Amino acid sequence: MTKRVIEMPDLGMGTFRLEGKTAYESVKMALEVGFRHIDTAQIYGNEEQVGQAIKDSNIPRDELFITTKVWNNKLNKNDFIASVEKSLEKLQVDSVDLLLVHWPAPSNNEPMSEYLTELLKAKKLGLTKHIGVSNFTIANLKEAMQTLDSREIFTNQVEVHPYLTNTKLRAFCAQHDIHVTAYMPFVVGKVLNDQTIIDIANKHDATPAQVVIAWENANGMTTIPSSTKRKNLEDNFNDKVKLDDEDIARIDGLDCNDRQASPDFAPQWDQ
């Protein structure tokens, strides 16, 4: 099987927990620095600010890759498409590049076949170029593939970082040519203070953040770190670090299953 070519930039700007003016300014700065991949979601409550920052940047739409995600209370045939249209209105675009189901956790226990059928419908209606999932386990993906051809699942956006390498899930995704997008790469800043990461950063005359991003990319993943500071955005965007096999092995060895995102509606995670 020929591996799918992913046109999504391997580095994006995440907007989780960014609100109001902070969200607007952060996205505006990220676009000025050179980011062209912006990730948001209905539940973040910042699609309007993200959309305004994108509009004010005057960057041609075809140079941008925009992702948003449908929330749990819209995972039904009555609300799904209308919610996507509302997201597009807030983002001030005719379509997004990638639309994800945020969690396999519908508020009213709708079957996965229902909301994935609606997800595919959104693509057929031209509301999104690609479709995918987020926070799906191996079991979730197996169920999803009963409704969607695996080639339709553009990515699975999940938590992956040096403290949670998620190896089994990543291997399953690779087996089915499902790209992995890694969120929370810095473990809410914790991994940036790890001595192993710092040592590798010193070796490459780089920042710890650059090392973590390089590790994500070396493992074939896209990642979407977030920052509100221009200097950090500039550092994150600088892809000068090329890790060697020893570096990667040392970082792999930091895995300690330190998961950050596990709400009460989360699925049974792969171990």
Residues placed in the known binding site for substrate: 102
Kindly give, in sequence order, each residue whose CB lies less than 8 Å from that of residue 167, ignoring residues fewer than 6 positions away.
255
Residue numbers belonging to the annotated binding site: 102
Report how far residue 117's alpha carbon sits from residue 61's, in angstroms, rounded to the nearest whole number: 27
Three-state secondary structure readout of 158-225: EECECCECCHHHHHHHHHCCCEEEEECCCCCCHHHHCHHHHHHHHHCCCCHHHHHHHHHHHCCCEECC
Yes or no: say if 200 and 242 are a contact pair by the CB < 8 Å rule. no
Active site residue 183: no
Of the candidates 266, 261, 59, the one whose C-alpha atom is nearest the C-alpha of residue 159 is: 261
Report d(CA 23, CA 53) in Å as an integer. Answer: 9
Residue of 24, 44, 163, 183 with catalytic role: 44
Q: What residues act catalytically?
A: 44
